Structure 1
Amino acid sequence: MKLRRVFNLVAKKASYSAGTPWTFLGALAIVVIWGASGPIFKFNDTWQLVINTGTTIITFLMVFLIQHSQNADTAAIQIKLDELIRATAEANNELLDLEELDEERLEEIRREYERMARDAGDALERVRASCHHPRPDDEAV
């Protein structure tokens, strides 16, 4: 259990740090220094291997750290959405476990919500037309 807590802490900090301007500038500086050192090392195979190996290792490790952070964020968002659905009396409780449904059922639900969105848009257009309010995009520029 302790390993999970340590990994979670390290992953969150690394993921946050990877997205800062300072980290980007540091990576850019490394690439510029590496590129500028090319003539010194006569652009040899070892010189190329240094950047290839370094970037491969960093990319490999970052994939796992970022995936861990994304999984945690997704789980937290899902719980929050589930609570909003659960707390809304008129909500469709089938949506609470939407991620567990098969693709066919997901497609049916998506089509139903698209239909409801079209109906809502049509209703809004009827209200605008009955009030004789011009739409913002209908006004002369």
Structure 2
Amino acid sequence: MASRKQGLFTRMAMAVSKTAGEPVTFAIALLVVIVWAASGPIFGFGDTWQLVINTSTTIITFLMVFLIQASQNRDTEALQIKLDELINAVKGTNEALLDLEQLDEKELDRIRKVYLAKAEAARGNTADSSSPDDSI
């Protein structure tokens, strides 16, 4: 089995993504905004007061985009590998589907139409059946 050691960036990106999705993180962010808004009269709703929240949120958003995208890319790649393993392991599957993520939109649309037609045909075949388990 491969080593489970992850790089610093990967560990950090995963931790930040997980923490960002927690309710307590939302509550802290909301509290910061409330404190900032409440401090408006103290600072006379001046340009510096506005600049603090604008700059802070812009920097945090900018950095979070990259960290969350890194985590999302990693999760998507892991999921794709798991799906590829299932396709590979099940007899009778279409192994040409193993690398669909590498195809362009036109080719994906063509394959999608084939499977939509198969699904429609399957629903048409099961509509005549009296078994309740066959209906969707």
TM-score when normalising by structure 1: 0.86
Aligned-partner Cα distance in 2 for 1:127–1:6: 56
Other-structure match for 2:62: 60
Give me the whole-angstrom Cα distance separating, in 2, the residues matched to 1:30 and 1:104.
46
The answer for the alignment partner of 2:90 in structure 1 is 88
Gaps of 5+ in 1: 137-141
- 1:124 CA drift (Å): 1.5
* Matched residue, 1:76: 78
Residue 97 of structure 1, aligned match among 99, 103, 108: 99
Q: Percent identity?
A: 55
1:1-141 aligned at under 5 Å gives the runs 5-128=7-130
* Shift in Å, 1:117: 0.6
User: Could you state the TM-score of these two structures normalised by the residue count of structure 2?
Assistant: 0.89
In the alignment, the residues of structure 2 paired with residue 20 and residue 93 of structure 1 have an alpha-carbon distance, to the nearest angstrom, of 39
Letter in structure 2 aligned against 1:70:
Q
Q: Which has more radius of gyration?
A: 1
Aligned-residue RMSD, C-alpha = 1.5
- Measured in 2, the distance between the counterparts of 1:56 and 1:37 equals 20
The Cα of 1:103 is off from its aligned counterpart by: 2.6
Distance 1:17 1:104 in 2: 38
Q: Which amino acid aligns with 1:93?
A: E
Query: Structure 2: how far apart are the matches of 1:93 and 1:51?
Result: 52
Distance in structure 2 (CA, Å) of the matches to 1:103 and 1:23: 37
Partner AA of 1:121 in structure 2: R
Q: Could you report, residue by residue, the CA deviation over 1:37-87 in whole angstroms, capped at 9, with x for unpaired residues?
A: 001101000000000000000000000000000000000000000000001
1:85-140 deviations in whole A, cap 9, x for unaligned? 00111111110011112333212210010001101111111103xx6x7xx9xxxx
Q: What SS does structure 1 have at the residue aligned with 2:129?
A: helix
Number of equivalent positions? 128
- 2:34 maps to a residue whose letter is V
